[in-house]
């Protein structure tokens, strides 16, 4: 065999796995069908969306809060081509970083579509139609996902678009419809709403970010409405969309079954992502994907039904998140090297990079109720935080859920300034099986947003928060 490990796909699952394999002394190669490494995350996902979220947040602050801070700006305008160019530069820096890391770790890379000839032989078909084959003792499938399409709603990539095209609109649209009130739809909707677009979200369920603790969605919807003027059409079942010239009409049925038609300049379809397995030749090695979602079935070692063939990241079950893919990449590398790694799937944090940010780890109140677990809840609102008052970020709260009998923290749910970073404290605490009392007794620097975590823990233990 030429390689100990060949990895198909260079997203956060694939590239991290490759680096860990190389660190462990395994001869490693990566196959990537696109010209740049980094997969969805670096090219059209986490990184470009956060770049635009940052730029649009600067503009929104300049337009709406600077005057209150005593900073007067004149003639504020959005230079959209420059905003997109900066985003592209951020992406380029990150993807170039992977090229550097591959070189540094002596990882071979092949550009082309990787498909199984047999379980140890992979054919790489290049863009010009030529091909070559390589062999490996182990193969890791890290082929990721693509945006889910609605069968009755064709995406023309011009006016009816996915998240990928939404990262490249070179003007500020007047109006935009976002189908789907999940993480991706709300983040991209926020980008444009901050720049002045009238954004309408159409969601089938009665709540946005419906998989998170119910209190978070409620608060986020309230704040996005208040601060960005976003409109929400909840409980609406989209039935179709048609583009005519520069306008899109989206039709939906409301909760009463009445037809509602909405018109906008653009419509982003953000109804989730589907595992991507096209062209892998899974049929050649007898791997069947799951009927729903097309995920590749794996066992507890992330090994498929075929010995020596592993699968990680968005293409397997679980949260479709970059950090989950990365941890699985390391897990598989260490498993192949004969180690016994572990992932605690209950402690993978979920984050929504709106403003305020939303972040969550562990069980939600709804899950605890369903499991019949007796718990205590303590909340602390940012409006009572000195730090939040200083930065005028007083929306949101931190909620700590702890076992009623043992006080072990079972879940932490927060919406507020820098929640994406603050959730790390909760993850660490829960990994070490801390009690709410532990957090309540730990000294938190003042004034910081993190004091809200301590206060929520104090509220969960004998209702003794100080500042509320």
Which residues contact ligand FAD by CB under 6 A? 8-14, 31-34, 39-41, 45-46, 49, 113-115, 142-145, 163, 184, 276, 279-280, 313-315, 320-323, 325, 353
Say whether 184 counts as a known binding-site residue: yes
- According to the annotation, is 322 in a ligand binding site? yes
| Residue whose CB is less far from ligand FAD, 101 or 384 | 101
Longest CA–CA span in the chain (Å) reads: 69
CA distance 328 to 404: 33
Strand 237-244 versus strand 231-234 pairing type: unpaired
Output 313 or 416, the one with its CB closest to ligand FAD. 313
- Euclidean distance between CA atoms 354 and 418, whole angstroms: 10
| Sheet arrangement for strand 231-234 | 160-161, 266-269, 175-179, 198-203, 231-234
CB 402 within 8 Å of CB 460: yes
- Closest separation between CB of residue 426 and ligand FAD, Å? 17
Q: According to the annotation, is 321 in a ligand binding site?
A: yes
Angle, vertex CA 184, rays to CA 169 and CA 290, nearest 5: 120
Least distance from C-beta 287 to ligand FAD, angstroms? 13
To ligand FAD, the closest distance from the beta carbon of 68 in angstroms equals 29
Q: Is 417 exposed, middle or buried (0-12, 13-18, 19+ CB in 10 A)?
A: buried
What is d(CA 157, CA 164) in angstroms, rounded to the nearest whole number? 9
The whole-angstrom separation of Cα 57 and Cα 428 is: 29
What is the residue whose two structure tokens read 């394999």?
21
Output 51 or 153, the one with its CB closest to ligand FAD.
51
3-state helix, strand, coil in the chain (%, to 5): 35, 25, 40
Output the DSSP codes for 230-288: -EEEET-EEEEEEEETTEEEEEEE-TTS-EEEEEESEEEE-S-EEE--TTS-GGGGT--
Measured from the CB atom, the residue of 113 and 377 that comes closer to ligand FAD is: 113
Q: CB-wise, 323 or 444, nearer to ligand FAD?
A: 323
Is 185 marked within a binding site? yes
Q: Is 126 annotated as a binding residue?
A: no
> How far apart, in whole angstroms, are the C-alpha atoms of residue 274 and residue 295?
8
As measured in angstroms, the least distance from the Cβ of 169 to ligand FAD is: 13
Say whether 217 counts as a known binding-site residue. Answer: no
DSSP string over 315-362: GSSS---HHHHHHHHHHHHHHHTT------GGG--EEE-SSSEEEEEE
Residue 303 or 407 having the CB closest to ligand FAD: 303
In whole angstroms, the minimum distance from the beta carbon of 386 to ligand FAD comes to 29
Cα 161 to Cα 451: distance, rounded to the nearest angstrom: 41
Q: Is 165 annotated as a binding residue?
A: no
In this complex, which beta carbon is closest to ligand FAD, that of residue 149 or of residue 255?
149
Q: What sign for the dihedral angle of Cα 47, 53, 59, 61?
A: negative
DSSP letter, residue 86: H
Task: Write down the least CB distance from residue 341 to ligand FAD, Å.
Answer: 17
Shortest Å, Cβ 457 to ligand FAD: 26
Least spacing, CB of residue 143 vs ligand FAD, in Å: 3
Give the active site residue among 58, 69, 301, 446. 446
- Of 125, 142, 126, nearest to 28 by C-alpha is 142
Q: Which residue in 379, 419, 418 sits closest to 400, CA to CA?
A: 379
- Ligand-binding annotation for 180, yes or no, is yes
The span from the CA of 270 to the CA of 183, in Å, is 9
136 is in an annotated binding site: no
Based on CB atoms, which residue is closest to ligand FAD, 211 or 251? 211
Residue 446 among the catalytic residues = yes
57 known ligand binder: no
> How many degrees, rounded to 5, is the angle at CA 300 between CA 296 and CA 303?
50
Residues that constitute the known binding site: 50, 114, 180-187, 203, 272, 314, 320-323
* Catalytic residue positions, numbered: 446
Residues that constitute the known binding site for NAD(+): 180-187, 203, 272
């Amino acid at each position: 065999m030429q390689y100990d490990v060949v990895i198909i796909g260079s997203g956060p699952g694939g590239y991290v796995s490759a680096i860990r394999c190389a660190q462990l002394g395994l001869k490693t190669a990566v196959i990537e069908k696109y010209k740049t490494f980094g997969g969805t995350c670096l090219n059209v996902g986490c990184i470009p969306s956060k770049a635009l979220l940052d730029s649009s947040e600067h503009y929104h602050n300049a337009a709406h809060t600077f005057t209150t801070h005593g900073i007067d700006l004149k003639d504020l305008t959005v230079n959209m081509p420059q905003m997109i160019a900066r985003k592209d530069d951020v992406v380029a820096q990150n993807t170039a970083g992977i090229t550097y890391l591959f070189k540094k770790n002596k990882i071979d890379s092949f550009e082309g579509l990787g498909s199984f000839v047999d379980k140890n032989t992979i054919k790489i078909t290049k863009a010009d139609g030529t091909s070559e084959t390589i062999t490996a003792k182990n193969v890791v499938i890290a082929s990721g996902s693509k945006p889910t399409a609605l069968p009755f709603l064709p995406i023309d990539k011009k006016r009816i678009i996915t998240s990928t095209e939404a990262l490249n609109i070179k003007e500020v649209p007047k109006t935009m419809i976002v189908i789907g009130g999940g993480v991706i739809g709300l983040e991209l909707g926020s980008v444009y709403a901050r720049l002045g677009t009238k954004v309408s979200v159409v969601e089938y369920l009665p709540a946005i970010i419906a998989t998170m603790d119910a209190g978070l969605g409620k608060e986020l919807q309230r704040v996005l409405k208040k601060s960005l003027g976003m409109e929400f059409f909840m409980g609406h079942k989209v039935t179709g969309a048609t583009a005519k010239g520069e306008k899109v009409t989206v039709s939906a049925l409301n909760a009463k079954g009445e037809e509602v038609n909405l018109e906008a300049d653009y419509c982003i379809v953000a109804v989730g992502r589907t595992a991507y397995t096209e062209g892998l030749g899974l049929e050649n090695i007898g791997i069947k994907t799951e009927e729903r979602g097309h995920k590749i079935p794996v066992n507890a070692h992330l090994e498929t039904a075929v010995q020596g063939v592993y699968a990680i990241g968005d293409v397997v079950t679980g949260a479709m998140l970059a950090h989950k893919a990365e941890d699985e990449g390391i897990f598989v590398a260490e498993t192949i090297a004969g180690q016994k790694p572990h992932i605690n799937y209950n402690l993978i944090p979920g984050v929504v990079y709106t403003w305020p940010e939303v972040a969550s780890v562990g069980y939600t109140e709804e899950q605890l109720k369903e499991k019949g677990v007796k718990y205590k809840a303590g909340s602390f609102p940012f409006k009572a935080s000195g730090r939040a008052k200083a930065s005028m970020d007083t929306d949101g709260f931190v909620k700590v859920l702890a076992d009623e009998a043992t006080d072990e923290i079972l879940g932490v749910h927060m919406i507020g300034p820098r929640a994406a970073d603050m959730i790390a404290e909760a993850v660490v605490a829960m990994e070490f099986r801390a009690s709410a009392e532990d957090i309540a007794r730990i000294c938190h620097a003042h004034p910081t947003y993190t004091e809200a975590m301590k206060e929520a823990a104090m509220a969960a233990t004998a209702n003794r928060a100080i500042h509320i």
